[in-house]
Amino acid sequence: MSSAVSITLVQQPFIVAAVAQNTAKVLEIAAGSQSDLLLFPELTLTGYPPEDLLLRPDFQLLVEQSLQQICAAKLPNTLVLGHPWRDGEALYNAASVIQNGAVIARYYKQALPNYGVFDEKRYFTEGTEACCFELKGQRFSVLICEDVWQGAPAALAKEQGADWALVLNASPYEIGKAQQREELLQTLAKHLHLGFVYVNQVVGQDELVFDGQSLVVSPDAQLVFRGKACEPELATVNLAVPGQQYGHTELAPRLSVEAEVYAALVMATRHYIQHNGFPGAVLGLSGGIDSALTLAIAVDAIGADKVQALMLPFAYTSSMSVEDAKAQAQVMGVEFDSVSIEPMYNSFMQQLTPLFKGKGKDTTEENLQARIRGVLLMAMSNKTGRMLLTTGNKSENAVGYCTLYGDMCGGFAVIKDVPKTLVYRLADYRNSLSPVIPQRVIDRPPSAELAPDQTDQDNLPPYDDLDAMIEAYVEHDKSLPAIVAMGYDEATVRRVLNLIDINEYKRRQSAVGPKVTSRNFGKDRRYPITSWMRKQR
């Protein structure tokens, strides 16, 4: 006789290599739960992705000891949790089903992603079999993340008589991904008449953001539960006997693109700083929109008392920039200092001018300003122990509109994967919550202020056009003729694509930053520095 099963979706952060802490969290959550079953994310015990730590025998030993500790607790509920597992010579991305102090079933992930940000075939062997168990008369199968995207493992689970698939996930965030997950699970449920309980971890891990938004979809494809975006939660759902309708659903509101991206950036920044043990953050506040948005994210992530902003003006810095930077710092309540870089610049030029031997001014002098600022910011980071946040956006990083060892200095690039057009939308969104970014920072033409009356469009196409070209080339692999066919001037497109190609060396030395688009500059896109691709166009 079947009856309803109460299941808790453990949408929580699990930190990479914090095996002891992750184990303690599992035990604490389980001990405080009255649910029949608790479902944890993919690689619960090690965090995801552990990368080459998986190759270390001592790391695997920690996992084995962790599982022994959890079994020894003899918890009254059933636990399904993820971990790496070595069986003979093969290492698997595994999930164990633990009841009454024993592992009653173990599943090996069948579909190993090896594209984009994923490298699972570097470490793991593919599983080949379904894994099912029964609880209160209902039959459950276990799947792990990519298994549902490939489809065949879910079909195999249904063939084994499963009523529900329990899906452990470490599914990284990108714009539009949450809706894709919902549509995928509802399509599979409708096709297979199989219910899905899908738990996703919620944590920032270097350049990856795991956004939660866990799901429950009934065997008749009804969306029963949707978890919050970028917030930890323990959500309990009663799984009805297949065939019964759900009179009550609990659906967290679906966020706008701007709200979702902003939440992802805040969580990524918070976790990078906290999990790496930094006491706070420091950044250069220029009076421009990129640093203004970065400051807002930093304060929302870790609190105003842990953030320091430095204004580093020069002769070309407008009074408007100085005023706006100071005004924002005051509104947000952060420590604020202003130091002119002019004496240092003059000292450098006194030494460099004889070496330049009469050569005219060019970008060398502009880059020197940025590098002096980088030295001062790194000095403050060094002295206080705070993480230096860089403020460059995806558009600038794409075409190299940034200075190596200058404004690229720092340890975490908060908006590295945010196109300039989205930067403006995020600034408007943040101000809709409370006005913290001066409106004229948003309204004025963007400028690096490294030369008199300079604007970004002196050197770059309008950002609407530039971002469209970057997206087409970087995220969709479109060719030069295909991008020209979108309505852009061929000479401009050729110049933009060449800039993207030749600046790979800069991006390779840039700080890590959170991925939010479908393809970022990092794990997603691995291009050679030395390449003649542009000469083949």
Answer yes or no: is 391 a known binding residue: yes
| Distance from C-alpha of 414 to C-alpha of 419, rounded to nearest angstrom | 12
CA–CA dist 76, 73 (Å, integer)? 9
**Annotated catalytic residue, options 109, 158, 416, 523:** 109
Beta bridge partners of 211: 202
Residue with tokens 């692999």, as numbered in its chain = 477
Of the candidates 147, 146, 85, the one whose C-alpha atom is nearest the C-alpha of residue 116 is: 146
State yes or no: is 478 an active-site residue: no
Residues 6+ apart with CB under 8 A from 145: 42, 109, 113, 167, 168, 169, 170, 171
Do the annotations mark residue 288 as ligand-binding? yes
Would the annotation count 291 as a binding residue? Answer: yes
Residue 304 CB burial class (10 angstroms; 0-12, 13-18, ≥19)? middle
Q: State the Cα–Cα distance between residues 96 and 263, nearest whole angstrom.
A: 32
388 three-state secondary structure = strand
42, 120, 207, 471: the active-site residue: 42
Does residue 109 have an active-site annotation? yes
Three-class SS state of 498: helix
* Rounded Cα–Cα distance for residues 225 and 250 (Å): 5
Question: Is 290 a known ligand-binding residue?
Answer: yes
Tell whether 506 is in a known binding site: yes
At residue 105, what are phi and psi to the nearest 5 degrees? -160, 150
Q: Binding site annotation covers 66?
A: no
Check the annotation: does 367 bind a ligand.
yes
CA dihedral sign, ordered 267, 269, 270, 271 = positive
Q: Report the C-alpha gap between 137 and 213 in whole angstroms.
A: 28
Active site residue 71: no
Residue 175, annotated as binding a ligand: no
Catalytic hit among 25, 120, 132, 145: 145
33 assigned ligand-binding residue: no
Task: Give the up-direction half-sphere exposure of residue 496: CA atoms within 13 A in the CB hemisphere.
Answer: 27
- C-alpha closest to that of 410 among 503, 282, 286: 282
Binding residues for L-glutamine: 115, 171, 177
By annotation, the residues acting in catalysis are 42, 109, 145
- Point out the annotated binding site for ATP: 284-291, 391
Cite the annotated binding site by residue number: 115, 171, 177, 284-291, 367, 391, 396, 506
* Binding-site residue set for deamido-NAD(+): 367, 396, 506
